[in-house]
């Protein structure tokens, strides 16, 4: 009877969690959906605490203490992390989820040996050799590998996002290294499952190889492709959680892990389509390796704009499109940008935002940033509608974006971003680029858009520049 009640409560928490996930599909309901999903997961945790599995130890004090410490760290860190650092925090949190799956798999495999030996001795009567090839061992090995890859890969992604590992790690022949490592992981897994008892040395080697593969397949990937990597690692962690649920027979872990893994996989596919990449190339570490840009030998001339002149131009425009990028987030200029949008609309100007799928440092980064400043979601245009609208746009304001508007992606076969769909802002009548300097973007290549016939540069901090522009517009 108690088991039925537990299953029923788990079902309720799963339904609540699914409704929360559904709410995340729209920015208008994302906050409510996030809280709903958290409530469902909180209910599942309480059920697990008060309905422990058979044979478990009475270790509630340790569990609750760990929850209190972890919650405190998460609460403090989340409040102190700026929006520009949010992708790094997501990578770290995702890595911790992978580490959990890795430790679960490792401990279950390490403690499996005594049970196997006693079971084998009691069941074997015909002298055949025993092995560990069963569902529990397979699930534990899978959780160990997936968790290890997610953990180490997320740490490398975190290092790349904050710039400390951007060019520091360079593995020779990364595709070959990845394939050899994968082959070794599969071979070791088969050896462990075909063994008569658990080999602790092989288990340690398998764990190290899993951690190394996470480093090996993330390290060659260019910074411009980080959104794809983050969503892929997120799906890995979800799969790891689902497999851990299979080990313990916990339905909420299975369902929750499947949902996270499936949504991460779907997002990864969408990101690959947006980047015009192959998912296989992500797995073997082939992104961002197209080579260096061929560049141009002719002298390029940059035309500068002033806030006063730009204010007049904007005041008499009919349509203006704003393209936000990571520079907007760094300058914390989203609120001033929204105020400029409101000032333009007061002048009768139609203002929209063009959002590239991989703008920023993680999927949806710009959407979250603009939602924080209360920008109406209906004003946000995705890649294709935005490209259709640029021909009829008077002014495009590119604020802190670089690689997602780089025409080299279409024309320079030697560019690392060649083939990536971009926002065709050069099709607009006028393009104004907000930048601190002429430095390259995250992909490390120069942007020929900056030297275009219709392009002018407005140098300086994005927040300060937008503030001056708004002031000039109000006084015009």
Domain CATH code at residue 461: 3.40.50.1220
Looking at the structure, tell me whether residues 401 and 375 fall in a common domain. yes
Question: What is the reported pLDDT for 299?
Answer: 52
Contact between 473 and 318 (Cβ < 8 Å): no
Looking at the structure, tell me whether residues 160 and 234 fall in a common domain. yes
For 178-234, the pLDDT digits (tens) are 889 999 999 999 888 887 777 889 999 999 999 999 988 888 776 666 777 888 888
Is residue 403 annotated as a catalytic residue, yes or no? yes
Contact between 71 and 42 (Cβ < 8 Å): no
Q: Is residue 80 part of a domain?
A: no
Q: Is residue 77 part of a domain?
A: no
Looking at the structure, tell me whether residues 116 and 51 fall in a common domain. no
**Residue holding tokens 């520079």?**
327
Contact between 375 and 351 (Cβ < 8 Å): no
| Structural domain boundaries enclosing 323 | 295-475
Question: What is the reported pLDDT for 320?
Answer: 95
List, in order, residues 6 or more apart from 129 with CB less than 8 Å away.
Answer: 196
For residues 377, 375, 324, 336, the Cα torsion angle rounded to the nearest 10 degrees is 180
Contact between 93 and 155 (Cβ < 8 Å): no
Looking at the structure, tell me whether residues 55 and 200 fall in a common domain. no
Looking at the structure, tell me whether residues 261 and 130 fall in a common domain. yes
Q: Please say which residue of 235, 265, 287 terminates a domain.
A: 287
What is the rounded CA–CA span in Å between residue 313 and residue 33?
41
Q: Is residue 78 part of a domain?
A: no
Burial grade of 436 (CB within 10 A; 0-12, 13-18, 19 or more): middle
List, in order, residues 6 or more apart from 403 with CB less than 8 Å away.
Answer: 224, 409, 417, 420, 441, 442, 443, 445, 447
Q: Is residue 457 part of a domain?
A: yes
Q: Please say which residue of 287, 317, 349 terminates a domain.
A: 287
What is the rounded CA–CA span in Å between residue 261 and residue 255?
10
Task: Tell me the helix, strand and coil percentages in the chain, rounded to 5.
Answer: 65, 5, 30
Number of domains in the chain: 3
What is the rounded CA–CA span in Å between residue 335 and residue 86?
17
Looking at the structure, tell me whether residues 198 and 180 fall in a common domain. yes
Contact between 210 and 188 (Cβ < 8 Å): no
Q: Is residue 343 part of a domain?
A: yes
Considering the candidates 309, 388, 403, 461, report the single residue annotated as catalytic: 403
Q: Which helix (DSSP H) or strand (DSSP E) does residue 241 occupy?
A: helix 226-248
Looking at the structure, tell me whether residues 283 and 299 fall in a common domain. no
Looking at the structure, tell me whether residues 283 and 346 fall in a common domain. no
Q: Please say which residue of 26, 50, 72 terminates a domain.
A: 72
Low-confidence ranges of the chain (pLDDT < 70): 1-3, 27, 52-58, 83-84, 113-133, 166-170, 222-225, 275, 281-300, 440-444, 476
Looking at the structure, tell me whether residues 267 and 311 fall in a common domain. no
Total residue count of the chain as it appears in this document: 476
What is the rounded CA–CA span in Å between residue 184 and residue 210?
10
Question: What is the reported pLDDT for 441?
Answer: 62
Cβ atoms < 10 Å from Cβ of 355: 24
Q: Cα 204 to chain center, whole Å?
A: 29
Looking at the structure, tell me whether residues 132 and 27 fall in a common domain. no
Contact between 257 and 242 (Cβ < 8 Å): yes
Looking at the structure, tell me whether residues 267 and 413 fall in a common domain. no
Looking at the structure, tell me whether residues 48 and 131 fall in a common domain. no
């Amino acid at each position: 009877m108690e088991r039925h009640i537990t299953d029923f409560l788990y079902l309720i928490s799963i339904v609540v969690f699914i409704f929360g996930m559904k709410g995340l599909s729209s920015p208008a309901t994302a906050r409510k959906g996030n809280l709903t999903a958290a409530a469902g997961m909180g209910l599942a945790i309480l059920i697990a605490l008060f309905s422990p599995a058979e044979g478990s130890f009475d270790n509630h004090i340790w569990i609750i203490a760990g929850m209190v410490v972890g919650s405190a760290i998460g609460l403090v860190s989340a409040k102190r992390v700026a929006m520009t650092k949010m992708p790094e925090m997501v990578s770290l949190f995702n890595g911790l989820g992978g580490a959990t799956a890795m430790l679960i798999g490792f401990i279950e495999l390490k403690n499996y040996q005594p049970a196997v030996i006693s079971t084998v001795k009691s069941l074997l009567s015909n002298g055949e050799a025993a092995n560990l090839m069963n569902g529990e061992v397979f699930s534990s090995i899978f959780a160990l590998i997936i968790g290890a890859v997610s953990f180490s890969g997320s740490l490398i992604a975190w290092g790349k996002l904050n710039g400390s590992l951007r060019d520091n790690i360079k593995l020779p022949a990364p595709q070959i290294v990845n394939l050899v490592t994968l082959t070794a992981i599969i071979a070791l897994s088969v050896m462990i499952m075909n063994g008569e008892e658990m080999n602790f040395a092989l288990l340690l080697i398998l764990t190290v190889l899993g951690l190394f593969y996470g480093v090996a397949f993330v390290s060659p990937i260019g910074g411009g492709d980080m959104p794809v990597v983050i969503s892929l690692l997120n799906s890995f962690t979800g799969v790891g959680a689902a497999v851990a649920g299979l080990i313990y027979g916990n339905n909420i872990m299975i369902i929750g892990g499947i949902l996270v893994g499936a949504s991460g996989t779907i997002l990864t596919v969408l990101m690959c389509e947006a980047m015009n990449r192959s998912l296989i190339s992500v797995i073997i570490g082939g992104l961002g390796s197209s080579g260096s840009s061929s560049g141009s030998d002719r002298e390029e001339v940059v035309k500068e704009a002033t806030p006063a002149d730009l204010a007049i131009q904007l005041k008499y425009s009919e349509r203006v499109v704003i393209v936000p990028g990571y520079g907007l987030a760094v300058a914390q200029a989203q609120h001033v940008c929204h105020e400029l949008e409101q000032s333009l609309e007061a002048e009768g100007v139609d203002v929209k935002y063009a959002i590239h799928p991989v703008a920023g440092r993680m999927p949806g980064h710009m959407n979250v940033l603009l939602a924080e400043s209360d920008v109406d979601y209906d004003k946000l245009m995705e890649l294709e509608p935005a490209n259709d609208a640029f021909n009829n746009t008077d002014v495009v304001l590119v604020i802190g974006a670089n690689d997602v508007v780089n025409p080299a992606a279409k024309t320079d076969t030697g560019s690392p971003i060649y083939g990536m769909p971009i926002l065709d802002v050069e099709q607009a009548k006028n393009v104004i680029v907000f930048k601190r300097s002429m430095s390259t973007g995250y992909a490390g290549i120069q942007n020929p858009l900056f030297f275009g016939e219709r392009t002018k540069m407005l140098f300086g901090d994005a927040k300060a520049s937008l503030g001056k522009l708004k002031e000039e517009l109000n006084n015009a």
